[in-house]
Chains A and B, each alone.
Chain A
Amino acid sequence: MTVVRDQAVATPGVAPPKSRRRMKSPYPYWFYLPAFAVFFIFFLVPTGSSFYYGFTRWTLFDAEWIGLENYRQFFSEPALTKGLTNTLIYGVVTSGLKVVLGMLLAVLLTSSVIGRAFMRSVVFFPVLVSTIGVGLTFVMLMEPDEGLINDTLALVGIEGPRWLVDPQWALLSVALVDVWKGVGLATVIYIAGIVSIPRELFDAAKVDGASAWGNFRHVILPLARPATTTVIILSLIGGLRSFELIWAMTRGGPGFSSDVIASVIYKQYQAGFYGLSTAGNVVLFILVTAIILPLFTWLNRRQVQM
């Protein structure tokens, strides 16, 4: 089978993939050297050494080999179980909301609505603002007794939750702010996806008498799949390793109720447990890879099958 297919591909004029790989690079090898040196020094060496230091009790001055002790310690950390579930909740909630809201906003902003360009900028604006700034601003807005949000809710007779102060709400509150800040990027990706759908398909759908919902369900939704894949992957990676916003807003509190893996690791660095926190980073690396890699291949395969 393979042989036959290879022969079929090797038609004159089209270079077969194999020989293309062998094709001589237009650049001499030393040309790659600077890039490789940078990559080696700043990426490979730190990555390699962090795997090593993950097995040691490290004071920055000397490191004592303790085998898997750090990993045992890290996984017996009570904050970690909480942090692990919180990381997953945070990643799924933010990424899910960004997909849904981003899609809806993109549909709205690709229709011929008045002030479209202006609204596109408004939606994208929060992406450009500093995360720490957004965090501190929302801490003020979400203040339970005097904050603007609860004051506004009180006007219509709703007693708002205690947001960041309530252990039940703290993580969700931060996730909502993350969505507010990040949905603009998802929207822009979706807008690009929707705009690239050929016009004829909409015309054909119209001829077939498709309703607005039918249009969305059977044309936009399937054909914007590459955009959906990108949004899910990007926001999930962002969500799983998110740190700045959580640190600016709650520092993982109250207690440990909004701790994620990244904030647990940060606190261990702060306390001077360098080996332990390096081990934590290795765990985070493995976790993100273990979730994203299969998800990515799965999403991409679905895309090809269509």
Chain B
Amino acid sequence: MVLRRSWKPLSTLVAAAVLALGLAACGGDDGGGGGEGGEQVTLTWLVANAPDAVTPAEALSSAFQKQNPDVKIEIETRPQGGEGDNLVKTRLATQEMADLFSYNSGSLFQALRPQNVLTPLTDEPWVGKLDDAFKPSVTAGGDVYGVPFGSSLGGGVLYNKKVYDRLGLEIPKTWDEFMANNEKIKAEGIDPVIQSYQDTWTSQLFVLADFHNVAAEDPDWADKYTKNQVKYAQEPAVEGFKHLEEVNKAGYMNENFGSIKFERALSMLAKGQGAHYPILTSTLPNVETSDPGRVKDIGFFGIPGNDADSAGATLWLPGATYIPRTTEGEKLDAAKRFLAFMASPEGCDIYAKAWAPTGPFMVDGCELPKSVPPAVQDVQRYVDEQKVTPALEFSSPVKGPALEQITVEVGSGIRGAEDGAALYDQDVEKQAQQLGLEGW
């Protein structure tokens, strides 16, 4: 424990020192370049050090540089997760941010206090083309600040289409229809619902992906939740926990739910040993590795709620690229041009070629390549029909760290649904207090 505690500030220190050095070097470079050429503008772009960020970032920047020889883009990387959050906040606070940076949208974006540190882009021509589901997640105080970097992803149920065809089942629009399907599937000796609790995060989907149904019943739920006026232990949010409990009680889960990871679960789904697997569509590329050619047997539908008319899906939004206030003059101009390029259909195509999208793009006019798996096309259909709600984490900063343990408990039958939801409400309190939110 002691190790961890002393390590954190140390690593921050080291990161800060490295940054300072790096910046000093950059500054020197800039000065020299400006003195000689005068024409070329060099932009730095900070992205997360994950392949799904770096690879498309490189593709986008090199395509842009080819069209705009007067701009040079240098990519910098940063750690992901909490450490990356700290780094971005520190660099913004010390006015040492790169000229462009990519970061989460939604509540993490709000936590940056965008009005103070980012350049508003509301008047840019591409703002009108942003998807309505996405726009609020990069909007603060009426101004838009970011352009989507990457594709969204769907959270809901992946199902085996062959099993559905064979048994003559219909896509369920309500929870009761879903359970009726499960009964028929079970009668055939197939596991109706696959769960994989060795990867604890996968247990949260029944709750998190149910948010579309929560928001359908109470459109202001996220707002009230942030203000501590509604709870997970109350209707309609408690339904997600109840669904999980029902599935367990009915014996619809695979026997080895406690001992497998999500790769194995996906493989079971692809082979038709199980019919449903609630998960994010970003996991689909794994099927190509474990069961080549079977990803076409997998489809997607949102977690069904009580009302067939409002049936839809919960969407996880892509992160965005922002311009800090410290970027000025020629650089700001070049940065804006680059963002417009990213928000164009051409930018989406370049992205899709560099990294296979696992969900729809959030820019109108951007088409997914024909080669994307059927499940991703299913998500696109929900987006086109405007039957999606962004997940709660994009509209409220309140999320407790222990949700995945609690949903494992509920899903394994260790704890009841209502008890679990109440426990989660308690867990969330710490987060809200740490963030210093009002009303907690």
Where the two chains meet, the residues of A that have a C-beta atom closer than 8 Å to any C-beta of B are 46, 50, 57, 59-60, 73, 76, 78-79, 143-145, 162, 164-167, 241, 243, 251-257, 262, 265-273, 276, 278, 281, 284
Residues of the B chain whose Cβ atoms lie less than 8 Å from the Cβ of A76: 426
Q: Is the CB of A255 within 8 A of B415?
A: yes
B8 at the interface (CB under 8 A from A): yes
Q: Which 4 A-B pairs have the closest CB atoms?
A: A255-B409, A271-B401, A165-B258, A165-B259
- Not counting A254-B408, A255-B414, A256-B405, a sample of 17 additional A-B residue pairs whose C-beta atoms are within 8 angstroms of each other reads A60-B12, A144-B256, A145-B259, A162-B258, A165-B259, A241-B1, A252-B405, A254-B409, A254-B412, A255-B408, A257-B414, A265-B1, A266-B4, A267-B402, A268-B401, A271-B401, A278-B5
Cα separation A145 to B434 with both chains bound (whole Å): 42
Given contacts A143-B259, A162-B259, A278-B5, contact A57 B408 (CB under 8 A): no
Cα separation A162 to B82 with both chains bound (whole Å): 34
Q: Is the CB of A254 within 8 A of B401?
A: no
> Taking the nearest CB of chain B, how far is it from the CB of A130, in angstroms?
15
A-B contact count (CB 8 A): 82
Cα separation A161 to B157 with both chains bound (whole Å): 31
B65 at the interface (CB under 8 A from A): no
Please, which residue of chain B has its CB at the minimum distance from the CB of A143? B259
Where the two chains meet, the residues of B that have a C-beta atom closer than 8 Å to any C-beta of A are 1-2, 4-6, 8-9, 12, 82, 86, 197, 200, 256, 258-259, 401-402, 405-406, 408-409, 412, 414-415, 423, 426, 430-431, 433-434
Q: Is the CB of A272 within 8 A of B408?
A: no
Residues of the A chain whose Cβ atoms lie less than 8 Å from the Cβ of B405: 79, 252-253, 255-256
> Taking the nearest CB of chain B, how far is it from the CB of A87, in angstroms?
13
Given contacts A60-B86, A266-B4, A273-B430, contact A256 B409 (CB under 8 A): yes
Q: Can you list 15 A-B pairs with a CB-CB distance of less than 8 A?
A: A57-B433, A60-B9, A76-B426, A78-B423, A144-B259, A145-B256, A165-B197, A253-B197, A254-B197, A255-B405, A255-B414, A257-B414, A272-B434, A273-B431, A281-B2
Please, which residue of chain A has its CB at the minimum distance from the CB of B200? A253
Residues of the B chain whose Cβ atoms lie less than 8 Å from the Cβ of A145: 256, 259
Given contacts A145-B256, A252-B405, contact A167 B412 (CB under 8 A): yes
Cα separation A162 to B259 with both chains bound (whole Å): 9
Cα separation A57 to B434 with both chains bound (whole Å): 7
Cα separation A276 to B401 with both chains bound (whole Å): 13
Residues of the A chain whose Cβ atoms lie less than 8 Å from the Cβ of B402: 79, 267
Cα separation A145 to B255 with both chains bound (whole Å): 10
> Taking the nearest CB of chain A, how far is it from the CB of B286, in angstroms?
20
> Taking the nearest CB of chain A, how far is it from the CB of B49, in angstroms?
19
